[in-house]
Amino acid sequence: MNPTILNDYVEYLSTIKGRSNGTITEYTYDISNFLKFITASKNSITVNAETLKEISILNFKTDELVHITLKDIHAYMTFLDRVAHNSTSTRARKIASIKSFFKYVVNIRKIMKINPAELLDTPAKSSRNPVYLTLDESIQLIQSVETTKNEIFRTRDRAILVLFLNCGLRLSELASINIDKIRANNTLQVVGKGDKERTIYLNEASMEAITDYLRIRPDVQNEPALFLSMRKSRLSTRAIQHRVEHYLKIAGFDTNIYSTHKLRHTAATLMFKYGEVDIRILQEILGHESVSTTQIYTHLDDEGLRSAVSKNPLNIKSSKKDS
């Protein structure tokens, strides 16, 4: 249960700002955890990533917000970094959520005069090359599904991995797939960022994986979802993350480094590297609004860099010999 101020903020995001359901869910989760941390701190309760979930904020009073300072927010950022071990991008998202919340509190609700998040800095993103699986590692990950004995779950999970690695789907897009959105022309309609529907083109491997799962998928009335849980309802994004993490561990990959989003990155990288895909086409496949976002997926590996240097027309050995 959330406090009144958070419920009011969520209503504002939905009705006034017109935010997508995915964005609202993320912001609600982020602000809820932030208020839990503030509550724990004010009551001198030491928490970690797990025990934070147990803190109740149902009785959090709106007037308590005026006592929150920039120092409190910095303490929460330190907690996310050193205790919860959140990535830079995750902390950046949570900062965006907190800034949005306090803008609402200060500018819309007029509860506070000073915005404690106004001077909050976003953590600098690493300039390292993005992480992805190689072709052989991707095959190894798909093969790890064979360790699952239950045929329905094994076939379902194989389809999930194949779609991630072949189509570059976002986690939310894969979870949103409905059976009636799979077309006879090997295309698929999914709900992307901002609740925008977009078309996914399915290759032979993807169609085969989906068809194999549909043959044994439980027939559940009034349940349009393609991927079903043990309870025969739509598989949640968190459940999908758990299944992917399970197979990543079996295949020997560090789940602190690899995730469902890294599978999307892998799909983009493999398409660009082996399919000679134009960056504009890749942008369309991934559903990016800006091509600048797509460019991070077109990094070259060491082999590509070495090959490019060796193809320089000036790469000519001197015929001159020492006298």
pLDDT tens for 140-165 read 999 999 999 999 999 999 999 999 99
Summarize the confidence of residues 4-20 as an average pLDDT.
93
For position 318, what pLDDT does the model report?
A: 60
Averaged pLDDT score across all residues of the chain = 87
The pLDDT assigned to 9 comes to 96
User: What is the pLDDT averaged over residues 177-203?
Assistant: 86
Name which of 67-76, 190-199, 307-316 the model is least confident about: 307-316
Q: Does residue 130 have a pLDDT over 80? A: no
- Write down the pTM of the prediction: 0.59
Three-state SS letters, the chain? CCCHHHHHHHHHHHHCCCCCHHHHHHHHHHHHHHHHHHHHHHCCCCCCCCHHHHCCCCCCCHHHHHHCCHHHHHHHHHHHHHHCCCCHHHHHHHHHHHHHHHHHHHHHCCCCCCCCCCCCCCCCCCCCCCCCCCHHHHHHHHHHHHHCCCHHHHHHHHHHHHHHHHHCCCHHHHHCCEHHHECCCCEEEEECHHHCEEEEECCHHHHHHHHHHHHHCCCCCCCCECCECCCCCECCHHHHHHHHHHHHHHCCCCCCCCCHHHHHHHHHHHHHHHCCCCHHHHHHHHCCCCHHHHHHHHCCCHHHHHHHHHCCCCCCCCCCCCC
What CATH topology corresponds to 4-108?
DNA polymerase; domain 1 (1.10.150)
- Cα 116 to the chain's mean position, in Å? 28
Q: Could you tell me the CA-to-CA distances from 95 to 30, 118, 190, 253, 323 in Å, in that order?
A: 9, 11, 28, 29, 67
Q: Band the pLDDT of 305: cuts 50, 70, 90.
A: very low
**Within its chain, how far is the Cα of 84 from the centroid?**
17
| pLDDT at residue 143, as a whole number | 96
Residue 121 has pLDDT above 90, yes or no: no
pLDDT tens digits for 88-99? 888 988 999 999
- Condensed to tens digits (0 to 9), the pLDDT of residues 47-74 reads 998 999 999 999 999 999 999 999 999 9
pLDDT on residue 308 = 53
Decide if pLDDT at 314 tops 60: no
Token pair of 133, please? 């699986």
Superfamily of domain 135-301: Intergrase catalytic core (1.10.443.10)
**Residue 118: predicted pLDDT:** 93
CA-CA distances (angstroms) from residue 53 to 30, 33, 258, 262? 12, 7, 24, 26
Residues 6+ apart with CB under 8 A from 99: 117, 118, 120
Q: Between these two residues, 4 and 195, which has the higher pLDDT value?
A: 4
Per-residue pLDDT at 108 exceeds 90: yes
pLDDT, one tens digit per residue, over 273-287 is 777 677 777 777 777
Residue 321 — pLDDT band, cuts 50, 70, 90?
A: low
- Every domain of the chain with CATH number 1.10.443.10 lies at 135-301
Q: Where in the chain is the domain with CATH 1.10.150?
A: 4-108
Q: Residues with catalytic annotation?
A: 170, 193, 261, 264, 288, 297
